[in-house]
Structure 1
Amino acid sequence: MWIEYRLYFLVFSLNLVRIMLGWDGLGIISYILVVFYNNDKSNSAGMLTVIRNRVLTTLIASLRALFEPDLKKVVALSTLSQLGIIIRTLALGFRELAFIHLLTHAVFKALLFICRGKIIHNVGGYQDTRKIGGEMFNLPVTRIIIVLSSYALCGVPFLAGFYSKDLIIEARLIGDIFFINYCLYILSVGLSTRYSFRLLFMSIVGPTNQSSYIRRDEED
Protein backbone atom coordinates (compact mmCIF):
# COMPACT_ATOMS: atom_id res chain seq x y z
CA MET A 1 0.00 0.00 0.00
CA TRP A 2 2.83 2.40 0.84
CA ILE A 3 4.37 1.80 -2.58
CA GLU A 4 1.09 2.62 -4.30
CA TYR A 5 0.65 5.90 -2.42
CA ARG A 6 4.27 7.03 -2.20
CA LEU A 7 3.80 9.76 -4.84
CA TYR A 8 0.71 11.01 -3.06
CA PHE A 9 2.57 11.39 0.23
CA LEU A 10 5.49 12.98 -1.62
CA VAL A 11 3.24 15.68 -3.07
CA PHE A 12 1.14 16.33 0.03
CA SER A 13 3.73 15.70 2.73
CA LEU A 14 3.98 19.35 3.78
CA ASN A 15 0.22 19.67 4.00
CA LEU A 16 -0.03 16.49 6.09
CA VAL A 17 2.63 17.76 8.48
CA ARG A 18 0.79 21.04 8.87
CA ILE A 19 -2.49 19.25 9.53
CA MET A 20 -0.96 16.87 12.09
CA LEU A 21 1.21 19.36 13.93
CA GLY A 22 0.15 22.91 13.14
CA TRP A 23 -3.62 23.06 13.50
CA ASP A 24 -4.34 26.26 15.42
CA GLY A 25 -1.23 25.82 17.51
CA LEU A 26 -2.50 22.51 18.89
CA GLY A 27 -2.20 19.91 16.14
CA ILE A 28 -4.62 17.07 15.47
CA ILE A 29 -2.25 14.52 17.02
CA SER A 30 -1.94 16.53 20.22
CA TYR A 31 -5.68 17.14 20.24
CA ILE A 32 -6.47 13.42 19.98
CA LEU A 33 -3.92 12.46 22.63
CA VAL A 34 -5.14 15.09 25.07
CA VAL A 35 -8.90 14.82 24.55
CA PHE A 36 -9.54 11.16 23.76
CA TYR A 37 -6.98 9.42 25.95
CA ASN A 38 -8.86 6.82 28.03
CA ASN A 39 -8.41 8.43 31.41
CA ASP A 40 -10.85 10.51 33.45
CA LYS A 41 -8.31 13.08 34.55
CA SER A 42 -6.90 13.35 31.05
CA ASN A 43 -10.38 13.78 29.60
CA SER A 44 -11.22 16.58 32.05
CA ALA A 45 -7.90 18.29 31.35
CA GLY A 46 -8.49 17.90 27.61
CA MET A 47 -11.92 19.51 27.78
CA LEU A 48 -10.49 22.35 29.86
CA THR A 49 -7.73 22.82 27.27
CA VAL A 50 -10.26 23.00 24.43
CA ILE A 51 -12.51 25.42 26.33
CA ARG A 52 -9.69 27.80 27.21
CA ASN A 53 -8.27 27.61 23.69
CA ARG A 54 -11.66 28.48 22.18
CA VAL A 55 -12.22 31.28 24.68
CA LEU A 56 -8.98 32.94 23.62
CA THR A 57 -9.68 32.30 19.93
CA THR A 58 -13.12 33.91 20.17
CA LEU A 59 -11.83 36.90 22.11
CA ILE A 60 -8.80 37.53 19.87
CA ALA A 61 -10.85 37.15 16.67
CA SER A 62 -13.47 39.59 17.97
CA LEU A 63 -10.84 42.15 18.98
CA ARG A 64 -9.09 41.78 15.62
CA ALA A 65 -12.37 42.35 13.76
CA LEU A 66 -12.82 45.67 15.57
CA PHE A 67 -9.75 47.15 13.88
CA GLU A 68 -9.68 45.28 10.55
CA PRO A 69 -10.34 47.61 7.56
CA ASP A 70 -10.81 44.81 5.02
CA LEU A 71 -14.49 44.06 4.40
CA LYS A 72 -14.18 40.33 3.78
CA LYS A 73 -11.67 39.76 6.57
CA VAL A 74 -14.07 41.20 9.13
CA VAL A 75 -16.73 38.69 8.11
CA ALA A 76 -14.13 35.89 8.14
CA LEU A 77 -12.93 36.86 11.63
CA SER A 78 -16.54 36.94 12.74
CA THR A 79 -16.91 33.37 11.50
CA LEU A 80 -13.80 32.35 13.46
CA SER A 81 -15.24 33.94 16.57
CA GLN A 82 -18.56 32.12 16.21
CA LEU A 83 -16.82 28.80 15.56
CA GLY A 84 -15.01 29.26 18.86
CA ILE A 85 -18.39 29.60 20.55
CA ILE A 86 -19.63 26.42 18.87
CA ILE A 87 -16.57 24.38 19.89
CA ARG A 88 -16.78 25.63 23.47
CA THR A 89 -20.43 24.64 23.60
CA LEU A 90 -19.53 21.17 22.33
CA ALA A 91 -16.76 20.85 24.91
CA LEU A 92 -19.30 21.55 27.65
CA GLY A 93 -21.50 18.73 26.35
CA PHE A 94 -24.34 20.74 24.79
CA ARG A 95 -24.37 19.15 21.35
CA GLU A 96 -27.91 20.19 20.44
CA LEU A 97 -27.25 23.84 21.25
CA ALA A 98 -24.02 23.79 19.27
CA PHE A 99 -25.85 22.31 16.28
CA ILE A 100 -28.65 24.89 16.51
CA HIS A 101 -26.16 27.75 16.61
CA LEU A 102 -24.24 26.18 13.71
CA LEU A 103 -27.38 26.12 11.55
CA THR A 104 -28.52 29.63 12.41
CA HIS A 105 -25.01 31.04 12.02
CA ALA A 106 -24.63 29.36 8.61
CA VAL A 107 -27.78 31.07 7.32
CA PHE A 108 -27.12 34.68 8.30
CA LYS A 109 -23.36 34.47 7.74
CA ALA A 110 -23.92 33.16 4.19
CA LEU A 111 -26.21 36.12 3.57
CA LEU A 112 -23.54 38.47 4.91
CA PHE A 113 -20.87 37.02 2.63
CA ILE A 114 -23.11 37.29 -0.43
CA CYS A 115 -24.11 40.87 0.34
CA ARG A 116 -20.53 41.94 1.06
CA GLY A 117 -19.53 40.46 -2.29
CA LYS A 118 -22.28 42.47 -3.94
CA ILE A 119 -20.99 45.67 -2.33
CA ILE A 120 -17.39 44.93 -3.36
CA HIS A 121 -18.53 44.29 -6.93
CA ASN A 122 -20.61 47.45 -6.95
CA VAL A 123 -17.70 49.70 -5.93
CA GLY A 124 -15.26 48.31 -8.47
CA GLY A 125 -13.44 45.76 -6.34
CA TYR A 126 -12.62 47.86 -3.28
CA GLN A 127 -12.55 45.91 -0.02
CA ASP A 128 -11.19 48.63 2.24
CA THR A 129 -14.00 49.98 4.40
CA ARG A 130 -12.21 53.33 4.51
CA LYS A 131 -12.77 53.74 0.77
CA ILE A 132 -16.36 52.58 0.44
CA GLY A 133 -19.63 53.76 1.89
CA GLY A 134 -22.93 55.34 0.98
CA GLU A 135 -24.46 52.17 -0.46
CA MET A 136 -27.71 52.72 1.42
CA PHE A 137 -29.60 54.09 -1.57
CA ASN A 138 -27.75 52.30 -4.38
CA LEU A 139 -28.50 48.80 -3.06
CA PRO A 140 -31.82 48.91 -1.18
CA VAL A 141 -32.47 45.14 -1.17
CA THR A 142 -28.89 44.38 -0.17
CA ARG A 143 -29.18 46.98 2.57
CA ILE A 144 -32.23 45.28 4.09
CA ILE A 145 -30.60 41.83 3.97
CA ILE A 146 -27.36 43.09 5.54
CA VAL A 147 -29.24 44.87 8.33
CA LEU A 148 -31.29 41.78 9.19
CA SER A 149 -28.25 39.48 9.01
CA SER A 150 -26.17 41.81 11.17
CA TYR A 151 -28.98 42.04 13.71
CA ALA A 152 -29.16 38.24 13.80
CA LEU A 153 -25.40 38.09 14.38
CA CYS A 154 -25.74 40.60 17.21
CA GLY A 155 -28.51 38.56 18.83
CA VAL A 156 -31.35 41.04 18.45
CA PRO A 157 -34.59 39.59 19.91
CA PHE A 158 -36.94 37.63 17.66
CA LEU A 159 -34.17 36.80 15.18
CA ALA A 160 -32.41 33.42 14.87
CA GLY A 161 -29.16 34.49 16.51
CA PHE A 162 -31.00 35.65 19.62
CA TYR A 163 -32.52 32.26 20.39
CA SER A 164 -29.33 30.25 19.83
CA LYS A 165 -27.08 32.65 21.76
CA ASP A 166 -29.56 33.03 24.61
CA LEU A 167 -29.77 29.26 25.06
CA ILE A 168 -25.97 28.98 25.00
CA ILE A 169 -25.62 31.75 27.59
CA GLU A 170 -28.06 29.99 29.91
CA ALA A 171 -26.37 26.62 29.39
CA ARG A 172 -22.91 28.06 30.02
CA LEU A 173 -24.12 29.78 33.17
CA ILE A 174 -25.26 26.40 34.47
CA GLY A 175 -22.53 24.11 33.12
CA ASP A 176 -19.34 26.20 33.05
CA ILE A 177 -17.36 25.66 36.24
CA PHE A 178 -15.16 28.70 35.64
CA PHE A 179 -16.97 32.02 35.96
CA ILE A 180 -14.18 33.85 34.11
CA ASN A 181 -14.93 31.79 30.98
CA TYR A 182 -18.57 32.84 31.21
CA CYS A 183 -17.57 36.50 31.55
CA LEU A 184 -15.25 36.23 28.54
CA TYR A 185 -18.09 34.68 26.54
CA ILE A 186 -20.37 37.61 27.40
CA LEU A 187 -17.56 39.97 26.40
CA SER A 188 -17.14 38.22 23.04
CA VAL A 189 -20.89 38.51 22.39
CA GLY A 190 -20.67 42.23 23.10
CA LEU A 191 -17.68 42.60 20.80
CA SER A 192 -19.56 40.81 18.01
CA THR A 193 -22.29 43.43 18.33
CA ARG A 194 -19.69 46.20 18.21
CA TYR A 195 -17.91 45.09 15.04
CA SER A 196 -21.20 44.22 13.32
CA PHE A 197 -22.51 47.76 13.78
CA ARG A 198 -19.11 49.19 12.81
CA LEU A 199 -19.11 47.25 9.55
CA LEU A 200 -22.75 48.12 8.92
CA PHE A 201 -22.11 51.82 9.36
CA MET A 202 -18.91 51.96 7.28
CA SER A 203 -20.26 50.02 4.31
CA ILE A 204 -23.94 50.98 4.18
CA VAL A 205 -24.83 53.96 6.34
CA GLY A 206 -21.54 55.86 6.27
CA PRO A 207 -20.72 58.76 3.96
CA THR A 208 -19.82 58.18 0.33
CA ASN A 209 -16.06 58.03 -0.22
CA GLN A 210 -13.81 58.22 -3.27
CA SER A 211 -14.99 54.89 -4.64
CA SER A 212 -18.22 56.62 -5.68
CA TYR A 213 -16.37 57.93 -8.72
CA ILE A 214 -15.74 54.42 -10.04
CA ARG A 215 -19.04 52.88 -9.01
CA ARG A 216 -20.55 50.53 -11.55
CA ASP A 217 -24.02 51.96 -10.94
CA GLU A 218 -25.62 48.57 -10.61
CA GLU A 219 -28.75 48.21 -8.56
CA ASP A 220 -30.57 45.35 -6.88
Structure 2
Amino acid sequence: MALIYILLEETPKESLVLKGETFKYLVKVRRHNTGDKINFRSKEDMSILYTYEIISIDGRSLELKYISSNPHAIKAEKSLHIGWCMIDNKSIEKVLPSLSEIGVEKISFISCDRSQKNFKLDIKRFERILEASMQQCGRSTYIEFDTYKNIQEFIKEFPKTKVFDFTEKTLDNYGEIETVLVGCEGGFSDQEKEFLKTQDVFRLNTPMILRSESAVMSVASKIIL
Protein backbone atom coordinates (compact mmCIF):
# COMPACT_ATOMS: atom_id res chain seq x y z
CA MET A 1 0.00 0.00 0.00
CA ALA A 2 1.29 3.46 -0.92
CA LEU A 3 1.92 6.01 1.85
CA ILE A 4 2.49 9.74 1.49
CA TYR A 5 5.93 10.90 2.54
CA ILE A 6 8.43 13.76 2.66
CA LEU A 7 11.50 13.55 0.41
CA LEU A 8 14.89 14.33 1.96
CA GLU A 9 18.21 15.01 0.24
CA GLU A 10 20.17 12.72 2.59
CA THR A 11 19.57 9.55 4.59
CA PRO A 12 17.54 10.40 7.71
CA LYS A 13 19.33 10.35 11.10
CA GLU A 14 18.22 9.44 14.63
CA SER A 15 16.53 12.82 14.95
CA LEU A 16 15.38 15.47 12.48
CA VAL A 17 14.73 19.18 12.82
CA LEU A 18 12.63 20.59 9.99
CA LYS A 19 12.28 24.28 9.20
CA GLY A 20 11.22 26.52 6.31
CA GLU A 21 8.80 25.31 3.66
CA THR A 22 8.74 21.72 4.94
CA PHE A 23 7.80 22.95 8.42
CA LYS A 24 5.04 25.17 7.00
CA TYR A 25 3.71 22.33 4.88
CA LEU A 26 3.55 19.81 7.73
CA VAL A 27 2.18 22.19 10.37
CA LYS A 28 0.17 24.75 8.42
CA VAL A 29 -1.12 22.61 5.55
CA ARG A 30 -1.26 19.04 6.88
CA ARG A 31 -1.97 20.23 10.45
CA HIS A 32 0.35 17.76 12.18
CA ASN A 33 0.77 17.88 15.94
CA THR A 34 3.13 16.42 18.55
CA GLY A 35 2.89 12.64 18.58
CA ASP A 36 1.98 12.33 14.90
CA LYS A 37 4.03 9.95 12.78
CA ILE A 38 5.54 11.18 9.49
CA ASN A 39 7.02 9.09 6.67
CA PHE A 40 10.18 10.05 4.79
CA ARG A 41 12.22 8.81 1.84
CA SER A 42 15.82 9.67 1.01
CA LYS A 43 17.00 10.55 -2.49
CA GLU A 44 20.00 8.31 -1.78
CA ASP A 45 17.73 5.23 -1.64
CA MET A 46 14.09 5.81 -2.53
CA SER A 47 13.12 2.19 -1.81
CA ILE A 48 13.30 2.63 1.99
CA LEU A 49 10.44 4.22 3.92
CA TYR A 50 11.47 5.90 7.19
CA THR A 51 8.96 6.64 9.94
CA TYR A 52 9.47 9.40 12.52
CA GLU A 53 7.40 10.80 15.38
CA ILE A 54 7.01 14.51 16.07
CA ILE A 55 8.28 15.19 19.58
CA SER A 56 8.10 19.00 19.66
CA ILE A 57 6.84 21.95 17.64
CA ASP A 58 7.69 25.62 18.08
CA GLY A 59 6.90 28.64 15.95
CA ARG A 60 9.47 27.93 13.25
CA SER A 61 10.55 24.30 13.46
CA LEU A 62 9.57 20.82 14.50
CA GLU A 63 11.71 18.03 15.91
CA LEU A 64 11.18 14.35 15.16
CA LYS A 65 12.64 11.10 16.50
CA TYR A 66 13.36 7.96 14.48
CA ILE A 67 10.86 5.10 14.86
CA SER A 68 11.55 2.57 12.08
CA SER A 69 12.70 1.97 8.50
CA ASN A 70 11.51 -0.69 6.09
CA PRO A 71 11.88 -1.58 2.39
CA HIS A 72 8.71 -0.23 0.81
CA ALA A 73 9.10 0.37 -2.93
CA ILE A 74 5.95 1.52 -4.74
CA LYS A 75 5.53 1.35 -8.52
CA ALA A 76 2.79 0.41 -10.96
CA GLU A 77 2.25 -3.29 -11.67
CA LYS A 78 2.16 -2.53 -15.40
CA SER A 79 5.22 -1.01 -17.11
CA LEU A 80 4.56 1.63 -19.79
CA HIS A 81 7.03 3.51 -21.98
CA ILE A 82 5.60 6.51 -23.88
CA GLY A 83 7.22 7.93 -26.99
CA TRP A 84 5.90 11.49 -27.04
CA CYS A 85 6.45 13.87 -29.93
CA MET A 86 7.61 17.12 -28.34
CA ILE A 87 5.10 19.80 -27.38
CA ASP A 88 5.28 22.95 -25.25
CA ASN A 89 6.91 22.42 -21.83
CA LYS A 90 3.92 24.04 -20.12
CA SER A 91 1.55 21.47 -21.61
CA ILE A 92 3.85 18.63 -20.53
CA GLU A 93 4.08 20.04 -17.01
CA LYS A 94 0.28 20.08 -16.63
CA VAL A 95 -0.04 16.30 -17.05
CA LEU A 96 3.26 15.09 -15.55
CA PRO A 97 1.83 14.75 -12.01
CA SER A 98 -1.05 12.65 -13.31
CA LEU A 99 1.24 10.48 -15.45
CA SER A 100 3.36 9.93 -12.35
CA GLU A 101 0.34 9.00 -10.24
CA ILE A 102 -0.98 6.39 -12.67
CA GLY A 103 2.48 4.82 -12.93
CA VAL A 104 4.09 5.68 -16.29
CA GLU A 105 7.64 4.31 -16.12
CA LYS A 106 9.42 6.16 -18.94
CA ILE A 107 8.85 9.01 -21.40
CA SER A 108 10.97 9.44 -24.52
CA PHE A 109 10.56 12.91 -26.04
CA ILE A 110 10.90 12.82 -29.82
CA SER A 111 11.53 15.67 -32.23
CA CYS A 112 8.81 15.04 -34.84
CA ASP A 113 8.09 16.84 -38.10
CA ARG A 114 5.34 18.98 -36.56
CA SER A 115 7.08 19.65 -33.25
CA GLN A 116 7.90 23.33 -32.82
CA LYS A 117 11.67 23.48 -33.01
CA ASN A 118 12.08 26.22 -30.40
CA PHE A 119 10.97 23.93 -27.54
CA LYS A 120 13.77 23.10 -25.10
CA LEU A 121 13.01 20.48 -22.49
CA ASP A 122 13.60 21.46 -18.85
CA ILE A 123 14.24 18.01 -17.36
CA LYS A 124 15.33 19.41 -13.98
CA ARG A 125 12.01 21.23 -13.65
CA PHE A 126 10.15 18.08 -14.71
CA GLU A 127 11.91 16.18 -11.91
CA ARG A 128 10.93 18.81 -9.33
CA ILE A 129 7.31 18.52 -10.46
CA LEU A 130 7.55 14.75 -10.17
CA GLU A 131 8.91 14.96 -6.63
CA ALA A 132 5.88 16.93 -5.47
CA SER A 133 3.59 14.37 -7.09
CA MET A 134 5.50 11.37 -5.75
CA GLN A 135 5.33 12.59 -2.18
CA GLN A 136 1.56 12.90 -2.46
CA CYS A 137 0.78 9.64 -4.27
CA GLY A 138 3.42 7.50 -2.52
CA ARG A 139 5.35 6.49 -5.62
CA SER A 140 9.01 5.70 -4.91
CA THR A 141 10.47 5.88 -8.44
CA TYR A 142 10.97 8.77 -10.84
CA ILE A 143 9.67 8.69 -14.39
CA GLU A 144 12.72 8.11 -16.60
CA PHE A 145 13.27 10.68 -19.39
CA ASP A 146 15.28 10.53 -22.61
CA THR A 147 15.16 12.07 -26.10
CA TYR A 148 15.26 10.97 -29.75
CA LYS A 149 16.06 12.96 -32.89
CA ASN A 150 13.16 11.54 -34.89
CA ILE A 151 10.49 8.83 -35.03
CA GLN A 152 12.64 6.58 -37.21
CA GLU A 153 15.36 6.47 -34.57
CA PHE A 154 12.81 5.68 -31.85
CA ILE A 155 11.08 2.88 -33.80
CA LYS A 156 14.42 1.34 -34.71
CA GLU A 157 15.17 0.92 -30.99
CA PHE A 158 11.61 -0.07 -30.03
CA PRO A 159 10.22 -1.96 -33.05
CA LYS A 160 7.16 -3.32 -31.17
CA THR A 161 5.84 0.18 -30.49
CA LYS A 162 2.12 0.66 -30.98
CA VAL A 163 1.02 4.01 -32.42
CA PHE A 164 -1.89 6.17 -31.33
CA ASP A 165 -3.34 8.01 -34.34
CA PHE A 166 -6.59 8.76 -36.17
CA THR A 167 -7.51 5.44 -37.76
CA GLU A 168 -10.41 3.00 -37.93
CA LYS A 169 -8.90 0.43 -35.59
CA THR A 170 -9.58 0.32 -31.86
CA LEU A 171 -7.99 -2.21 -29.53
CA ASP A 172 -9.69 -4.89 -27.43
CA ASN A 173 -6.70 -5.51 -25.19
CA TYR A 174 -4.62 -2.54 -24.06
CA GLY A 175 -2.80 -4.58 -21.43
CA GLU A 176 -0.34 -6.00 -23.96
CA ILE A 177 1.10 -2.58 -24.86
CA GLU A 178 4.56 -1.91 -23.42
CA THR A 179 5.57 1.03 -25.64
CA VAL A 180 3.21 3.53 -27.29
CA LEU A 181 3.89 6.47 -29.60
CA VAL A 182 1.77 9.65 -29.40
CA GLY A 183 2.08 12.57 -31.82
CA CYS A 184 2.35 16.28 -31.14
CA GLU A 185 -0.25 18.95 -31.91
CA GLY A 186 -1.36 18.44 -35.52
CA GLY A 187 -0.46 14.76 -35.42
CA PHE A 188 2.03 12.96 -37.62
CA SER A 189 3.15 14.31 -40.98
CA ASP A 190 2.39 12.42 -44.20
CA GLN A 191 5.98 11.17 -44.32
CA GLU A 192 5.76 9.93 -40.72
CA LYS A 193 2.41 8.25 -41.38
CA GLU A 194 3.93 6.45 -44.35
CA PHE A 195 6.85 5.27 -42.21
CA LEU A 196 4.49 4.11 -39.41
CA LYS A 197 2.26 2.04 -41.74
CA THR A 198 4.08 -1.13 -40.71
CA GLN A 199 3.40 -0.50 -37.00
CA ASP A 200 0.22 -1.45 -35.14
CA VAL A 201 -1.79 1.80 -35.28
CA PHE A 202 -4.92 2.35 -33.16
CA ARG A 203 -7.31 4.98 -31.85
CA LEU A 204 -9.47 5.37 -28.75
CA ASN A 205 -13.21 4.88 -28.97
CA THR A 206 -14.11 8.57 -29.18
CA PRO A 207 -15.20 10.83 -32.07
CA MET A 208 -13.38 13.79 -30.48
CA ILE A 209 -10.03 15.19 -31.57
CA LEU A 210 -7.69 14.98 -28.56
CA ARG A 211 -4.89 17.37 -27.74
CA SER A 212 -1.52 15.67 -27.47
CA GLU A 213 -1.47 15.84 -23.65
CA SER A 214 -5.08 14.58 -23.46
CA ALA A 215 -4.17 11.68 -25.74
CA VAL A 216 -1.14 10.76 -23.62
CA MET A 217 -3.21 10.77 -20.41
CA SER A 218 -6.09 8.82 -21.95
CA VAL A 219 -3.90 6.17 -23.55
CA ALA A 220 -1.72 5.75 -20.45
CA SER A 221 -4.81 5.34 -18.26
CA LYS A 222 -6.26 2.73 -20.59
CA ILE A 223 -3.07 0.70 -20.58
CA ILE A 224 -2.06 0.90 -16.92
CA LEU A 225 -5.24 1.20 -14.87
TM-score range, shorter chain: under 0.3
Q: Higher strand fraction: Structure 1 or Structure 2?
A: 2
- Higher RCO structure (Cα 8 Å, ≥6 apart): 1
Query: What TM-score does the superposition give when structure 1 sets the normalisation length?
Result: 0.26
